[in-house]
Every structure is written in structure tokens, then in C-alpha cells.
Structure 1
């Protein structure tokens, strides 16, 4: 028996773990955080349905009929077909998609751009990136990443549509859920989460009205003189126009829009504005997965600026870059030498900041040839459940001339593929990991595989390097050597710690230069970096009125617009679909669709659940545990009713990421956010009916 150190990759928190090996060097036990995701790694490795050999489709697309082939046959054929697509239609007609794992993104993106295609796409087309871009446009810095880090100096905490017990390891013991005596707590969430039950104020808003609520806060802050006027005078651009705009967002109007009590709004705004330092904890997706999500998020984050809580200890800190691996993705080459990416034509602000094409446009590219025609696709960890109106995406995959996927298990996407390649798990593959950490501190480590892959599985990164070799680019792809690719990436790490990154299995803590710069320039409190560097925006200030957005033809102010589907914006549609549909609340028992096959996780949540309030269930004859049909203009999907007063009346929440009940078959793929291209997963209309 022996033990080896590794990291868990059942989500991207990269928690350290210890793995026990038996006398045959087979892993038999994992010790790590008290997290159900951590414990299923061996179940994933040993699952009887895991894909262990290269597969070639022999039946119709979607039939699931495959035959086992050799790696040589698979890789040679794939290289030939990709080359043929390039010769006939041009390299940009081939897309390269990265879902999970994110670890092999550098190798896949390098393959795309070396091949000549700008169209490397990722799951970030609907996750996280919109919050980052909104923050960069407004502040020049990211703040979401650091917003979940707890400071002992915070006196008021505004938790905006995130539930740490279900979404942030270590879940039930995360500092966010361990409320400190004397700290004020405000929670914004259409669901009454355990944290909301502990809150001083719970604002259960109608999904998609986050922007209106934030503007209502701003109205009250200016009306009562609670703003940090000295900060605004020195560091704000466009604040007068913004102040004029929010005058219309009176408490009465905002309460009506959001479906909350006016007095609760007034109390919450006063608590946040007058109890400094105050911090907003943000979700990577909850505010931006709406048809007006980008501007909604801007309205929310500007609350930190208007109250002077920006980059202060106890407030919302900037995320600062630390020592990091050298980029090997060839994205600079893509920007300077390759044609526009998918999305450059439609979402130029988003693509300016995000190093990929916009994946939400992929069905349009395949089916309609807009904004570009995609004819072939090489994908890692793809599932159609990630796309709104998922059946349309499934149909699109069936229309491709050639399609290859790497994965652990089959899903609706892999069943459409011409080849499916077996992927190694995180216990079976190496990776150079750069964990972002908090405002000034991060972590680097090199994770070695602790066991050989099962069957003929290979690391995704190695597969992409081997394809690069077969495409005639052996030298550019380290002759297929994955460890060599990571070694070149490691050249970006300072030489004095590089060896330790490789040798210390627990990783190496790294720090941002910004903290040293502050101290060296006499700012001993080591916060408010803008005093030294300003704001990295067009004006050098906080952009209440964004110059960059105006130049791109958008509103510079964070204008509120109703969700594209809502009882207000589409009253005729609401006759047939009278309930607001939202989805995607996290639980610790799944990471999107990754744990569909894992029995331990399914035992925890055996059924796809639709949460519905008793006031909405009763007139429909629905009781707890009934099978129900959720329908929208896109179709209908069966769920199991969870009748609970924890969900706002008039709202239905459905679990996401399930292959047996994919809520995104019902979501809207036509009203994408005009700036980011994000879909409105979280604010639509639906009807619920009892089955039978």
C-alpha cells in the first residue's frame, strides 16, 4: 500500500487530495475535502459504461452504433478528414470546441490556430466570461473572482444570486455560510436558500430583474446622499448622466418590477450603503444569463463603486495577475494572422476581451452559415445540454460533414459523432495548474498522473498533440509529447520557483506584484490599487457611462430592459406560458452534466426536479412528487414536482445538466444578450402540467 498526492478535477477548484494505491498500484481510496464530488473519482475511473477505446460510428448519426478501432486508424482518418475540409472549404470551416476538461485547452487551441482556424470555442460562451468582460469594460479589473473570498473587515455582505452551500467548495463549511456575529447579511435570490433564511433581508426578485433592483439601490443611494462623493468626483466617468437615469427607478416602481416589498428594498439599500465596508458576492452566471444580463451585471457591480467599497479591504477587491505559465495557445498569432473569429462580427466587445469564438453561435454556423459556415468539428467534453434550445444544437451536429468528440461517457452529442475518443481522467493525466486564488495570492502546481489510464484512454491534450503531428506539424506539437508541452508552458514561471512547482506536490503559493508596488509607493494599507494605476478603462476611471460600449453601438449606461420573454414584455405569450422559468442553481452533487453516470451522485438527487410554489401547484392539481411536464415555445420536458414555498410564487426552477431531462431543450436561443451573446437560461416563460 502507498499514498500519492494529486488534485481533484470533478470541478475546477483543484482541491488537493491523497490517493491510496494497493500493491498493484491501483487506486482504491481518495482522501480530500469533505465533498461528494471528490469521492466519485474512482467511480468515474472504474465505471462499466466508461468509453475505453476509440470508436467509429457505423450506424446513422444519433443511433449510438459504433465499432472499436485502433488509435492509428482513428487519428489517421481524423487528420485526413480535417485536411480535406480545409482544402475544400478553408481552415475556418473547422471548429475546435473545449468543454471539460479545461486543462487541455492550451493544446486544443494551439491545434486550432496552427491548423489555420480562428474558430476555437469553449463553454465560456455561456459561463463566467460575460461577468469578466462587463467588469473589464466598467473597471478595467475583474472582481467576481475575488468576491467569494471573505474578509474579517466586511460589515455588510450582499450575496447576489449565489448559494455557497451548493456552488463553492467546501460548501457547508465555506466561510461565506459561517455568519460572523454583527455582520449584516442581505441575499438576492428568487429561491429561499439556507443562507437567505439567515439574512437580515431576503429580496426574492423575479428572475431577470437584477438590473432594475440594482438601479433601485442606486436611486436610493443618491436620493439620500449615501454615495462616496469624493471618490466619484475623482474617479467616475459619466456619473451625472447615470444619476439622471436612475431617478426613474423609484422604490415603488422597482418593487413592482421585481416583485418585492418596497420597504425591504429601502432597508436593504440603506444597510448596504451605510454599513461600510460592504462586499457584494457574485455568481459567474446568475446575473448574466439573461437577454440583458451584461448591463444588469454592470448595474450591480457599480454599487461597489458608488459607495466607495471598490478595492478596499472588506469591500470588493480587484483580482490581480500572478506568476503564470507561458501561453502556448498561439492566440496572438490568431489575432494577427487569422481571419475573424465567429462572434467578431456580432459581439466585438466580448471577443475583444475573451480569447475564443462565441460558441452559442455554433448551431447558426452549422445550420444557416451565419455569421460563418462551420462544416467540421473537433470537440472535447461536449454535451448539447449546454446550448439553449438543445434539440436544435443536436440537429446541427447531425448536419456536420465530420464530427469528432473526446469524452468519458456517451451523451446526446457524442452519439452524433463520427469518432469518439476515450479520455483519461485527472488521476491518469498530467497538468500544469495555475489556480487563481484571491486578490493577491494564487497557486501553481504540476500534477503528475498517479496511475496509467484505463483501457486505451489517453489525455485529451496528448490526443490533440498527436493530431498536430499527423497534420504535418510535429515540431510545433512537441512530437506528440504532452509533458514537453507543459514544460514549455512552465518556462513562463519564474526560474527560482519553477523547480518547486514540479517537485512540491502540494503546490507553490505565488503573489501578485501589485501588493509590492502599493507598499513600495507608500500605500501601506495595500488596497485601492487605482490610486497607483488608475482604472484600465478608456477614461482611466470607473465607467458609469462606458465609452467602449458607446463606440460599439451599445448604450453606455447600464440600461435596464425587461427579459425578452416575461409577463411584462410578452403578455400574449404569457397567456399560454404564465410562469417564469429559471434554472441552473448549483448543488454539491453535480458539476453541470459531468455526473450523470455516477450512481453515488444520482442517489443524492435521483430525479430531475421542478420546484414550484404551493400557490402555483394547487390550481394545477400538482402534489409533491408528481410527474409534471414543463413546456415552453421550444418544446416540453418531464420533471418531478418539488412543491415548496422556498421558490418565489409565479416562478419555476428546474435542475440543469441532466441527460434524462434537459431543461435547455426549453430555453431560448434567439434572444442572446446583444453584447456578450449569452443565452437567457434564467428568465423565460413556461407552463407546468401534471402528467396523467
Structure 2
């Protein structure tokens, strides 16, 4: 038999978007490895994706359509045909749509980051149907909005330049676990003499390997950035030429920054004034020497009340010191807007009608709401794909209540019987990345990526696109866009009129697997910010028009001992739940080898906080607040700063001893900007079981 190698792409919600080489022997994928020629992947895969064949050929793969026969949540199903499944779904949705199609809600996120299997055909279908829109804000909306107000687009330092930097701030992220290939470049920079500083409430795997760790309180990053600005301005560590030519609002910023001397910042952030002063001086002095000073700001810090403003404040720093002049300087949040995606061709927003929008972060409350003039119709049907909301959505107790409604018709497209699938009326088997065609933009590097199908679909699994094509046909929708092939959709994914993607060609991309965008090495060396003014906006008139403070500011957490004393007296510990190294959101939790490596749900707690509660290392503890509780094994460690507990996540509920996870205690309250989730804006108490 002929052994072949197929070019593919990792589809998961990770900035690395690795180029894969899949070995296929007699129609079976026998190995998945990283492409050694792809500059980002460099032949290296994370422990999760290196085991991708385990996931594809997992004994528990869903391979046939299923119909519920037990109570919701029990996970009892019987096999049905695709024809029965599509007919049942079409009849139920048709009956609901006849009254008000807005009672039908899609729920999806980044279970695949592919532009074809993600939202393309699904959006077309729901636009034609007239279903409610979903505000997909659970991960990155707040930070992206704050960054965009300041910089103009989610464009930043090329990750390939980080190895040339002399000072790197890893701010609110743990790239060893969630951005491995950037970390490889950071390690190279260290070998060349760079200093790397981690700014994170938790001494993560990454923070442990940095020369310095600044362990500030959750939700106070905006204050630290303001304090850095105050020191930079007071010490005249400013690139005045860059500020004069490429920024707006410096005089107003000087006044605002003066309100944040290091002593105030220290009190707010729970760190020392000396840490603030030294950090600012090292940053400003290195930039003014012309050295590369790079900030990798990640999404963890924006999952709090003032998360959008926090990212905005940090995004001001490179322009203040002229760090953008050096290709190895500046800031990277996301590369998403570097890609000229053709959203009109992919998702056909022109087919949509005015409908309500449901915020995915508040799905618990929304599923429990009755019809009203303000809210609209009660949600009657939910189509879930590329997501596992029962595990990942905040305030999980309410989410489960909503999904348990007997009058709610729920369809789930999945690879496995997840926590969410247990509540479905119909479960449909979806293909994995090795079984379908897709095209990818990324948010952590600058390469367009093609995914070729390596093997035939397992069992009766179908791509997401095929489900929506079949359903549209059964419901009598005849717009030609609802029958387009995956290849046709992929070929239209990028706007070839945009200078960054003018060289795009789908056929050649399939052959090569990846191709870099046409972008400059240093995107803002000479200004050119895509803001209304064309400059980096310390003062943003657009923010003022949108109802925000137009200058960098500090917005305290909803839940902290300092901002809510009465709540803090009842629940005195802040809690964050960053990703576990061996999981990716809720993906891979059911891969036995990865789950065995992760062990069981743990809670890291500082020795002083543990002693105060008579908690010993290895004790089972209950973590609780007014929203709910979950259990974990205590790890008594100073990796968690005093006043903070850390529960690495996200476990499937059914695979935890108590059937719960960290989202029992998280809140549905939203961020300052763009309706993001506040997963890390949480107060709890912990007790020994």
C-alpha cells in the first residue's frame, strides 16, 4: 500500500495554528507531526495535538446520529438515521420559525478555528432562517476592543521577531501552556541575553522560567500600566519625536498618568512601589536605547470588569517610548486583523434581517427568561456546534437549568458525548480536522493555512457545512449560497484586493499548506495606525462617543476585597481558572493519556491561606460562593499569591468526582467593553471537606 503525507492544520483555539503533516497508510492516519519547514511550527507540536490520532480514532467517537430516550442530562440515546435526524430537526425548527424564528438560537465558538467549518455555512443558514444572532464574546472581545480603540486594528509585533528582543513582558499569559511556539522564540531571546518578565497573579509554568515575576492582584493590570506611564513621563523616558508625529492626546495623558504615582499603584495591585518604578525604567530605557522591547499581552487579564480598558492602557506603552520603531518591539495581542478575510463571501451578512442578539456569556440567564417585549421570544431551540457550553459557559448552575428545560429543543454537533451533548434531543456526529477541508487565518502568526482532508469521514460523521446544507434543503431554502461546496467557500475566504492577501490562491495554498501575508516587518515604525486619526490614540474621541472614558483609566473588579468590602468579608479569596496545560478549553479532557497526565481537578492555595483554614496539601476542598460550589484537591503552594486561589481548567463535569467544575462559581456579569466574560473576576471561600 502507498503511504502518503497530507498537509493539514491544527484547528484548535490556540494562537500557534500549527502546520501538520499527516501520515496516511491504507486510508488510516497513523501519525500527525509538525511541519519542520513552517517557520512557526518548526516541527514541534504540543502534547495535545501530537496525540491527535488518539482523538480521531477514540473509542468514544460519535459515529451515528442519536435521539434522546432518557431525561435531559442523563445522556441516554438511541441510534437513528441521518434522514430521520434532518427531518426531525427541519420539522421542529420550521414550526418554531412559523411563529418567530428569533426563538431559534445558534451557539458556537472556537471548537474549530476554520473559516469553512466554523461559521461560513452556519451563518448563511441562520441569516436566511432569521434566527437570533449570537454575540461571540466569551474569550477575547473586551481586550480586542480596547486594543482597537488605541491601535486601530488587531495588528502587532510579528511573533517571529520576539527572538530579537532584549526585553520581553509576558503580561497575563502562560505561553508554555497556550502559546508554545512563541515561547520557543522567547527562550531564544533569553539565550541571546534578553530579560523576560512575567506579569501574572499566578506563578505559572511560564512565570517560573522568567527572570522576574510580578504577582499583581487579579483585575489590577490597568493600574500597573498607568503607573508605568507615570514613571515614564516623570523620568522623561519618552520618545518625544514618535509621540509628536504618531500619537494623539499626550498632554491629556500626562494629567491622567500623574494621578497614579507608584505608591497608589502598589496599594491597588498588591505589589511594591519599587516593582512599578523598576519595571517602567527598564522598559523605557531599553526602548530609548533602540533595543527591541516587546509585550505579549494575552487574554487572561481582560476577563475582568475593566478588561477592555486594561488592554487599552497596556497598548499605549509602545508608542509612548517609540518601541514600534524596532521590528522586535511593540505589542502583540492578536494578529487577527492582519488577515484580509472576506466575511461577505464567507458568511453572507447581506442575507440577515434585523433580529435580536444573544450574548453567549449570559446563556444561563437567557435560557431561563420568559418572552417579553424587551427580550423577545423565549428561546425554543438551540443549535450547538463547535462549543460545549454546559462545561465552558459562566455560572454553570443556571446554564444546566436552562439546558434541562423539557420545552427546549436542542441539537448538538459533536465528536464526543460531552456535558452539553448529554442534554441534547438530537446529537449529530461531526468530522474532525483530519476528515474535512478547511482554510485558516490565525491570531498568533501571519500565515494563511490550508487543511486538506487526510482520511474519509469516520462512520456516518459529516462536516458542519454538510449538516447545514442538508438542513437548508430539507427546509426548502433555495439560495445558491446554501449549496456551495467546501472547496468553493475556501477559495473565497480571503480578499485578494487587499495588499496583504493579493497573492492568495487556494489551489496553490492547498499544495504548500501555508503562505505568509504580505506585511512589513515593523507595522507601525512610521505610524500608519488604522484609527480615525491615523495615530496611536492616547485620547480616543471614538471612546468618548461610545460612552467610555477617552483616556486610559482604572476600572476596579466587580468582586475584590478592595472594591466590594461586604462581599470580600464573606468570600475573601480571589479565584482565577486559567487553562490546564493538557487541555484546550474543554477539548482533550476525554483523551485518557492527557487526562492521566493532568491528574484530577486541583486548587492551588497559598500556605498562609491554607493554614488559616486548616487545609493540608492533598485535602479535598470545597470552593464556593453564592452562585455555587465545586470540589478539588488542594495543592498548598506559594505559586498562588496570598489571597488568590487557582483552579486550572476546564474539566468536563462528568469527569470530576463531584460532577462540577470551576464555572459553578464564575459570574455572567460582563466586561466594560464588548460584552466579554468575567471569568477571573470572582471571589470565593474555600473549606476542607
Pair 1:21 & 2:24 matched:
yes
Alpha-carbon contact 2:435-2:457 (below 8 Å) kept: yes
In structure 1, what is the Cα distance between the partners aligned to 2:64 and 2:361? 30
Aligned position for 1:667:
666
Q: Is the 8 A contact 1:394 1:412 kept in 2?
A: no
TM-score normalised per structure 2: 0.88
Contact 1:190 1:206 (8 Å CA) reproduced: yes
Q: Give the whole-Å Cα distance in 2 for the aligned partners of 1:490 and 1:152.
A: 29
CA 1:558–1:586 in 2, change beyond 3 Å: closer, same or farther?
farther
Partner of residue 328 from structure 1, selected from 345, 357, 371? 345
Q: Does 2:456 correspond to 1:455?
A: no
Structure-to-structure mapping, 1:193-272, within 5 angstroms: 193-272=204-283
Q: Distance in 2 between matches of 1:488 and 1:340?
A: 27
> Counterparts of 2:295 and 2:580 in 1: how far apart (Å)?
16
1:164–1:174 Cα contact (<8 Å) kept: no
Question: How far has the Cα of 1:542 moved from its partner?
Answer: 2.1
Whether 1:291 aligns to 2:314 is: no
Equivalent in 390, 414, 426 of residue 396 of structure 2: 390
Distance 1:530 1:392 in 2: 50
TM-score (norm 1): 0.88
Provide the C-alpha distance between the structure 1 equivalents of 2:78 and 2:325, rounded to a whole number of angstroms: 56
Q: Which runs of 5+ in 2 are unaligned?
A: 35-43
> 1:495, 1:219 → 2: CA distance?
43
Q: What CA distance in whole angstroms lies between the structure 1 residues aligned with 2:209 and 2:33? A: 32
Cα drift, residue 500 of structure 1: 4.2
Which of 524, 529, 534 is residue 528 of structure 1 equivalent to? Answer: 524
Aligned to 1:434: 441
Task: Name stretches of at least 5 consecutive residues in structure 1 with no aligned partner.
Answer: 343-356, 516-524
Match of 1:471 in 2: 475
**Shift in Å, 1:272:** 0.6
The reply on whether 1:647 has 2:653 as its aligned counterpart is no
How many residues align? The count is 652
Given the alignment of the two structures, is residue 94 of structure 1 paired with residue 104 of structure 2, yes or no?
Answer: yes
Match of 2:41 in 1: none
- Kindly tell me: are residues 658 and 635 of structure 1, through their superposed partners in 2, closer, same or farther at Cα, counting changes over 3 Å? same
Alignment of 1:172-571 (within 5 A): 173-176=184-187, 179-276=190-287, 277-310=291-324, 312-316=326-330, 319=335, 321-322=338-339, 324=341, 327-333=344-350, 338-342=353-357, 358-368=359-369, 371-373=375-377, 374-383=379-388, 384-399=390-405, 401-435=408-442, 438=445, 441-445=446-450, 447-477=451-481, 479=483, 481-489=485-493, 498=505, 500-501=507-508, 503-504=510-511, 506-512=512-518, 515=520, 527-528=523-524, 531=527, 534-571=528-565
Q: Decide which moves more: 202-211 or 303-312.
A: 303-312
Note the C-alpha offset of 1:220: 0.8
Q: CA separation in 1, counterparts of 2:633 and 2:550?
A: 43
C-alpha distance in structure 2 between counterparts of 1:425 and 1:199, whole Å: 36
Q: For residues 567 and 529 of structure 1, what CA distance do their matches in structure 2 show?
A: 42
Q: Identify which of 680, 684, 689 aligns with 2:687.
A: 689
The whole-number CA distance in structure 2 between the counterparts of 1:298 and 1:198 is 27
| Consecutive aligned runs of 4 or more in structure 1 exceeding 6 Å deviation | 493-496
**Paired position in structure 2 for 1:609:** 602
* 1:480 Cα deviation after fit: 6.6
Partner-residue secondary structure (3-state), 1:286? helix
Query: What is the alpha-carbon distance in structure 2 between the residues aligned to residue 147 and residue 656 of structure 1?
Result: 29
8 Å CA contact 2:142–2:671 kept in 1: the answer is no
Distance between the aligned counterparts of 1:271 and 1:315, measured in 2? 14
* CA pair 294-618 structure 1, distance change in 2 beyond 3 A: same
Cα deviation, residue 477, structure 1: 4.1
Q: Which residue of 2 aligns with 1:129?
A: 141
Q: Are 2:130 and 2:355, in contact at CA under 8 Å, matched by a contact in 1?
A: no
- Over 3 Å counting, the alpha-carbon distance change for 1:154 and 1:491 in structure 2 is closer
Deviates further, 228-237 or 160-169: 228-237
Change in Cα spacing, 1:499 to 1:210, as seen in structure 2 (3 Å) is closer
Q: Is the 8 A contact 1:433 1:444 kept in 2?
A: yes
Give CA deviations for 1:654-674 in whole Å, capped at 9, x if unaligned. 0121122410110111x3113
Compute the displacement of 1:490 (Å).
7.1
The question of whether the paired residues in 2 share the 8 Å contact of 1:119 and 1:341 is answered with yes
Deviation at 1:268, TM superposition (A): 0.9
1:629 and 2:622 correspond = yes
Secondary structure of the corresponding residue to residue 275 of structure 1: helix
Q: C-alpha distance in 2, partners of 1:675/1:437?
A: 22
Give the match's secondary structure for 2:575. strand
In 2: Cα distance, 1:266 partner to 1:256 partner: 14
**1:204: Cα distance to partner?**
0.5
- Are the structure 2 counterparts of residues 577 and 428 from structure 1 closer, same or farther at C-alpha, using a change threshold of 3 Å? same
Task: Report the counterpart of residue 129 of structure 2 in structure 1.
Answer: 115
CA displacement, residues 76-135 of structure 1 (integer Å, 9 cap, x when unaligned): 22122212211112x33321222212321211112111222351443xx12123222222
Q: By how many angstroms is 1:539 displaced?
A: 3.1
Q: Which string of whole-angstrom CA distances, capped at 9 and with x for unpartnered residues, describes residues 169-206 of structure 1?
A: 34774545751343232220112234434544321101
Q: Secondary structure at the match of 2:180?
A: coil
RMSD: 2.6
Cα distance in 2, alignment partners of residues 244 and 501 from structure 1: 54
SS in 1 for 2:299: coil
Is 1:53–1:457's contact at 8 Å kept on the other side of the alignment? yes
